[in-house]
Amino acid sequence: MSRTSLAPSIRLNRRFFGVSLCILAGSSPLGLACTDYGVTIGQPTVELSSETIDFGEVIVGNQSTIGILVKNTGDGPLTIDSADLDGTTSADFTFMDLTSFTIDKGEEAELSVRYVPDIVGQDYGRVQLGTNDPSAAIANIDLAGFGVEPAIDLDPDVLWFGKVAAGDSASLSVTVSAQGTGTLTLSDIAVPDDLTGVYTWTLPSAVGLPYDLPAGVSVDLVVTFSPTSTSETNGELTLTSDDPHSHEASVQLLGNSADDPTGNASPVVSLTDPDWGDYFLTDDTVTIQGVAYDEEDDPTSLVCLAYAGLIPIGTGSPDSSGNISIDSTGLPVGDVNVLLRCLDTQGSIGEDSVDVVVWDPADPIEYVLSGGDTLYDWWEVDDDINIYLDDVLVYADTNHTQDTHPPVTLTAELGQEIRVVVTDYNYCDTSLSALQLHFGMSNRQSGVDGFCYSACPDHDCYDPDYAGPWPGVVYEDSFTISIP
């Protein structure tokens, strides 16, 4: 069996078969007459190595290409008449236009699909192959991918080791945090060649490079200064990651330096609300909450400012416990960096920030229907499911088997109705995970309850009263969108 690559197009060497039949002519044993006869070829059968391509997480702007093998397991030539992306497919999925081609018996070809997300979020699609297989005129390949934008955060970004004698050493730590969306991959950590051995770094024993940090997770990096003299020795520790906006982030290293950046400690500011990825509407009142601490000053002497991007949105001072709350309305539409910055009496600054999303209430809002408390939770159904938004079909699973699905993204409006219909085709079991509707990272409402029935006594979900129908609708429920 031979294989031909289709990345991103399909190329296939065609083979044509025939038989030459020679018979004796006249009385001479050497007199031969030959006639060509065509071979009767049987029916083709199309077989896909997989009916789904899940690209998983892909960084916005990056590309991922995955191939599917199209095999001919029948007895005759398989013709692919067309290959198209259906009308519901995200524009982030592509492959080159294809003309008609043939796959001979026992051969296979590879179809490659490319995914390049342009924004953060879930994408879906479907490739439809038109074939001459009499039992599969259309062969479907479902597509899924999630665009992410990880970000690295280093705290602190300056390490001052003070005075350290030759032969001694001192260690300080940096907290490396994954922010943004998706998984941050830390690929390299390095100091300049001329400072190798003077500055060394270590990660926890269970952590190696490359290292993946899911969003919201952090790891402590310990840096040790071991000078060979009392001379000032400064440098930078460079961390390389797949943060698309800052592939290299650095920590300034100050050893035996007369410049003591801790002489006046900057305020320590922690932004507690909103959280990363929270969604708001432009007319919402957003409360910026945090905690501020300063080694030299009383918290009430700090002056704190809140920003949405570069736009000031409020000011205030912490209470005696360091708690601060600033209310603001009219945040700009789009992806917004909310920053809380506090100044002490000597002008030193401490700050913390998060990225949120702000929607115009006049525009349809993006919701996510998932199987759990987060918008990343997958869900299961047995057998098929149709999901409607105001009686318009927005998602369907129709392959008559138990399946696990990624979260479903919906563009909807407050007050619209979501209806879920589950059909059972196969004896014994039918089931559905409970579904929740999400608006951003923290706003959610209950959607529909899960259920599990079985007609088989040895199964966990056995219900003696359940007897089908097979096929037939076994569950139908709806709810009205009430968030945000």
pLDDT beyond 70 at 13: no
Q: What is the pLDDT of residue 162?
A: 80
Asked whether 323 and 308 are in contact (CB, 8 A), the reply is no
- What are residue 300's phi and psi, to 5 degrees? -70, -15
- Round to whole Å and give the CA distance between 368 and 375: 6
Q: What is the pLDDT of residue 224?
A: 94
- Round to whole Å and give the CA distance between 113 and 97: 11
Write the burial class of residue 205 (CB in 10 Å: 0-12 exposed, 13-18 middle, 19+ buried). Answer: exposed
User: What's the pLDDT tens digit per position in 99-146?
Assistant: 678 999 999 988 889 999 999 999 999 999 999 999 989 999 999 999
pLDDT beyond 50 at 225: yes
pLDDT beyond 90 at 480: yes
* Domains in the chain, CATH or no CATH each: 3-148 (2.60.40.10), 150-255 (2.60.40.10), 268-359 (2.60.40.10), 365-480 (no CATH)
- Round to whole Å and give the CA distance between 291 and 319: 9
- Round to whole Å and give the CA distance between 172 and 363: 49
- Round to whole Å and give the CA distance between 236 and 252: 5
The DSSP annotation for 394-452 comes to EEEE-SSS-EEEPPEEEEE-TT-EEEEEEEE-SSSEEEE--EEEEETTTEEEEEE--EE
DSSP state of 283: T
Q: Which two tokens stand for residue 238?
A: 């460079």
User: What's the pLDDT tens digit per position in 22-53?
Assistant: 333 344 444 444 445 455 558 999 999 999 99
Q: pTM (2 decimals)?
A: 0.48
User: What's the pLDDT tens digit per position in 326-337?
Assistant: 998 878 988 999
SS3 195: helix
What Cα–Cα distance (Å) separates residue 360 from each residue in 17, 121, 332, 413?
64, 18, 9, 12
